[in-house]
Amino acid sequence: MAGYAMFCPLLPLLFISNKFYRTCTDALFTFWQFYPTVLLELLCGCEIQVSGDAIQTDETSLIVMNHRTRTDWNFLWPTMYHSISGSGKFKFATKFVLKDVIRHIPGPGWVMQLACFVYIKRCWGLDKLTLGKAIDYFSELGYKYSLLVFPEGTDFTDSTKAKSDNFARKNGLESYDFVLHPRTTGFVFLAKKMLEKKALDAVYDVTLVYPDLVPQNEAILLKGNFPKLVKVHLARYPSAVLPKTEAGLCDFLQKRWLDKERTLREYHSTTQFLHGRILKSENRWELLLALFFWTLLPFFVTYLLCVYWWYRFVILGHTVFLIIVNVTMGGFQNFEIWWYHLRRKN
């Protein structure tokens, strides 16, 4: 919640400039991403080995990744920290497409609304509009970002694998042992729309594997059981090589998942993973600064709340406003987009 409190004083910036507000909140959220990175690597003893193609800050990219466990996102922050390269890294945003229920979680869900993550309801008629509005907004702001989607739609478990196998049988496809068959509709829509708006520079195919302990759910991590090693590989596909039709993009994604299944199958048989350039940020001072800042922040915020009435008013007012737009408009991210279009009309 202390992190949420840092976002509250930034709200007036939105009424001055959407792009400036987005830049400031992206920078704050990116700096927060350093914190789980340093906690995992330095305090939890979890090594994140990242290889392949770096994500460039002067490009807009769409990222697809296998969803092995419910806790994958914990290991995505350090992956992004090590793989993003270029000037302006400190404010380069990585946004997720998430289930709508997550936005209601006090603290994390609120912050991700303020960071303009995209929430979907698993109803394509509504989700198509939501995704379209988000892409239009980001494109009109004219800034670079990466958007991450999990085409499988859920994590890999016995029950979800059974559903995936059933889908494969009905459609004459191969049954997979290490990934789920991807749902292509969302990816195809996003890629095609971004290509049409000339707002997609590359697609990154991310493959993640846990060599030792598989943290299937949050309870495992809360007990202090973290994998000692996580391997992640990024493969870049520039927009020039991407298909331009819906059928072509659908086939492209299915081929990536077939390759991913074969890669993981080989890894579990031989322990040989994908090869590529090692991606690792050596700026340890950034992580130490994040560790110091975010660890002390709760104490500083508590002090401000206890001493200054105006700060209590700012936090309370922002929270009430956030709850109202969360109920009436489906989240702060929708209010932000609505406000942008309202200003343009006037």
What is 303-318 written as a DSSP string? HHHHH-HHHHHHHHHH
**Given a cut of 80, is residue 1 above it in pLDDT?**
no
CA neighbor of 1 nearest in space, from 77, 150, 142, 105: 105
Confidence bin at 86 (pLDDT 50/70/90): confident
Category of 320 on φ-ψ map: left (φ > 0), alpha (ψ -120 to 50) or beta:
alpha
Cα(first)–Cα(last) distance of the chain, in Å?
Answer: 36
Q: What is the mean pLDDT of residues 260-281?
A: 92
List the domains of the chain with CATH numbers.
2-279+308-345 (3.40.1130)
| Beta strand spans in 40-122 (E) | 47-52, 55-56, 61-65, 84-85, 93-99, 118-120
Q: What is the pTM of this model?
A: 0.94
- Token duo for residue 134: 């988000």
Collapsing DSSP states into helix, strand and coil, what is residue 71? coil
Average pLDDT across the chain, whole number: 93
Q: What is the mean pLDDT of residues 26-51?
A: 92
